[in-house]
Structure 1
Amino acid sequence: MSNSPAILELKNLEKRFELDKGFLETIKLKDKRLVREKREVHAVNNVSLEMERGEALCVVGESGCGKSTVARLVAGLLDPSGGEIHYDGERIDGRSRRELIGLRKKMQMIFQNPYASLNPRMTIQQALEEPVRYHNKDLSNAEIRDKVREVMKSVGVDPSWAARYPHEFSGGQRQRIAIARALTVDPEFIIADEPISALDVSIQAQVLNLMLEAKEERGLTYLFITHDLSVVQHFGTRVVVLYLGSVCELSDTKTLFEAPKHPYTKALLSAVPQLKDDKPNHIRLKGEIPTPINLPVGCPFESRCGFADKRCKLEKPRPLKQPDGSIVACHAVEEDRLDV
């Protein structure tokens, strides 16, 4: 990491969702007594990380690990239950929508489902013009049309398609249009929430390469949410591995794939198909994933880890920096009792 200020910093970020909304839902019978008990889903738990300008940080983990919640917290679509979010040195969590207008131009989001992220009643021209008009009040109609035309060309969308509606396009074409919409306001930071998972495999590489080209040409920074580790290897500069809303491991991509340290990271990587492997060495995880409603007292991965001991059951591991620069939250790694 360089000494330049971080473009994004998360400090002890937390997000909990209440399950019991009304008063009656919180009343429970325990030991023949009525008690009031609020249940919450602990989606994001004490996540801290920094991002530099120009990097592509990939957030990976199983479904339900809190990846998309982190993306929505950073984008301001959800309010954190605890912790802080800083963008370019300024704290942005808890601000009103009006206060975030200036930030919206710098930070854009590409959603997972290209079939749901475009308004079916708007032509492509209208959908792409809308953010330009909103963020650039001084531009003339001709300048707005020129801007839209230029961005459409840059993402491989034929400007002659502008009068068509979203239902006339395939998933890959729609996702290109969604990327174009994000780029029309010249952002510097893009949050991509599983942007290729809804696409055919043959189209995924095209969209990924398009996003990489945009990164190089425009100097973009990406927060890239994915569950596909083969995509991470191709796209990411650094990787953060989440499990039950907690950071297991944070490392640069090369180090993570060559020398994973956390037992969960090793299990994830062992499941990635490799052409050179004639004898794949898959790590099969046993045990149940704990519920995010009642999180374990100790390490969230303890119930499925082959290296867990009494300390893992009772004490949450702290993220500690390793000699190669990666950060790992694991008692077994800290005590050097893994067969690395």
Structure 2
Amino acid sequence: MLEKSALVTLNKVVKHFDISGGFLEQLRFKGLRPRLEQKKVHAINDVSLAIEPGEILSVVGESGCGKSTLARTVMGLYAPDSGEIYYENTRIDTLDSTQMLVHRKKMQMIFQDPYASLNPRMTVRQTLEEPLRFHQPSISETEVRDRVAEVMEQVGVNPVWGERYPHEFSGGQRQRVSIARALMVDPEFIVADEPISALDVSIQAQILNLLMEAREQRGLTYMMITHDLSVVAHVSTRVAVMYLGTLCEVAPAANLFETAKHPYTRALLSAIPKLGQKKPRHIKLKGEVPTPIHLPSGCVFHGRCLYANERCRREVPRLLALSSGVQVACHGVEEGRVLD
């Protein structure tokens, strides 16, 4: 599924985590201990996705659905068990650390927790200088100093504060520094993993506006990981909805919020409070969320879906492209059982 126009392409990506136990627990002594059953968390299951240049693709879903794992796999922090990841027309999931360097400069990540993502032993100036010196070892001291001051001003942090340590900043200021660090090497693509969820509500909008301004000024492409649907509606061009490591629906943001197709997407959107709505119309799903260790057969959502039938229980649905530009993985939509 390599699309020539896409900046980042994922083709049937799978990522599982073995949780059977540590090394000592895996040692087997004949006759002394029975062999334990191997357990795996099925974090990402056959995900195919294309991210176009200049867009903001938001990945949404419940906690534990695989959003952050997907982000880290795209960035190469996790190696996929199978599948392919391309940056432009170059496959990057098979590159070693040296071969990946040229792409590291183009791909940057903003982490969720600004308190954990900054080195407490480094000043802000040292934090911002480090990626610049690494990727451009021939750069002069004057250029480094000017570049750091320029980016700090762009993110709203006074360059005079460059000698301070992270603990001397508020949460919002730390996240601004994290954004500045990502921008230091002039990236093309940024993965933002829950960039505002650890911040006070009063400054969340400031950080979002900062990300949007950086996109306009630098022509950035974002992959935004979030569970906040109000943020998704505000900033996204397209939205990918995940459930238990599987893509349910991928659609332009306007289409998704007006006419969601997948039953799970509709249930998510029904939980958003709306002004003037006297009685909320929540869609109440049945059953419980299955464990990602033992995924259900067929459609992973069938145990909670109001439209599930026998086909849903035995056959895994594939993403179906509709004429509106929406992709949906649902037998009910394909068969016309789930109506608009």
Is TM > 0.5 for Structure 1 vs Structure 2?
Answer: yes
Amino acid at match of 2:287: G
In the alignment, is the contact (CA less than 8 A) between 2:333 and 2:339 conserved in 1? no
- Counterpart in 2 of 1:259? 259
1:27–1:36 CA contact under 8 A, matched in 2: no
Letter in 2 for 1:70: L
Q: Which residue is 1:212 aligned to?
A: 212
Task: State the partner residue of 1:40.
Answer: 40
Shift of 1:272: 1.2
- State the distance in 1 between where 2:37 and 2:116 align: 37
For structure 1, which runs of at least 5 residues remain unmatched after alignment? 29-33
Match of 1:276 in 2: 276
Partner residue of 2:285? 285
CA contact (8 A) 1:60 1:240 kept: yes
Distance in 1 (alpha carbons) for counterparts of 2:113 and 2:261: 33
Question: Alignment partner of 1:191: what SS?
Answer: strand
AA partner of residue 227 (structure 1): H
In structure 2, the CA distance between the partners of 1:324 and 1:161, relative to structure 1 (3 Å rule), is same
Name the SS of the counterpart of 1:303 in structure 2: coil
The structural deviation recorded for 1:285 is 1.6
Q: Out of 17-26 and 160-169, give the one that drifted further.
A: 17-26
- Could you list the runs of 5+ residues in structure 2 that have no partner in the other structure? 29-33
User: Contact 1:4–1:52 (CA<8 Å) still a contact in 2?
Assistant: no
Task: Name 2:133's counterpart in structure 1.
Answer: 133
Establish whether residue 172 from structure 1 lines up as the match of residue 165 from structure 2.
no
- Read off the aligned partner of 2:168 and give its amino acid letter: E
Equivalent in the alignment of 1:94: 94
Distance 2:98 2:332 in 1: 47
Which residue of structure 1 aligns with residue 154 of structure 2?
A: 154
| One-letter amino acid matched to 1:230 | S
Between the two proteins, the alignment pairs up a number of residues equal to: 334
Partners of 2:12 and 2:84 within 8 A in 1: yes
Following superposition of structure 1 onto structure 2, how do residues 1-340 of structure 1 map, counting pairs within 5 Å?
Answer: 5-21=5-21, 25=25, 37-340=37-340
CA offsets 1:214-273 (integer angstroms, 9 cap, x no match): 001000000110001110111110000000000000000000000001000000001112
1:23 CA drift (Å): 7.8
Are 2:20 and 2:36, in contact at CA under 8 Å, matched by a contact in 1? no
Alignment TM-score, normalising by the size of structure 2: 0.95
Q: Which amino acid aligns with 1:123?
A: T
Give the secondary-structure state (helix, strand or coil) at the position aligned to 1:9. strand
Conservation of the 8 A alpha-carbon contact between 1:131 and 1:184: yes
Quote how far apart the aligned CAs of 1:138 are.
1.7
**What is the aligned-residue identity percentage?**
60
Rounded to whole Å, the distance in 1 between the matches of 2:16 and 2:168 is 39
Q: Deviations over 1:164-217 (max 9, x none)?
A: 110011100000010001001100100100000000111110000000000010
Across the aligned residues of Structure 1 and Structure 2, the Cα RMSD in angstroms comes to 1.7
Residue identity matched to 2:337? R
Runs of 4 or more above 3 Å deviation? 21-28, 34-37
Give 1:316's aligned amino acid.
V
C-alpha contact (below 8 Å) 2:4/2:89 kept by paired residues: no
Shift in Å at residue 27 of structure 1? 9.7
Residue type of the alignment partner of 1:55: E
Q: What SS is found at the alignment partner of 1:333?
A: helix
1:83 and 1:220 map into 2 onto residues whose CA distance is 26
CA shift at 1:36, angstroms?
Answer: 6.0
CA apart distance, 1:21: 4.4
Q: Which moved more, 1:290-299 or 1:275-284?
A: 275-284
The amino acid that maps onto 1:95 is: L
1:4 to partner: Cα distance: 5.9
Letter in 1 for 2:250: L
SS in 2 for 1:148: helix
CA distance in 2, matches of 1:279, 1:235: 27
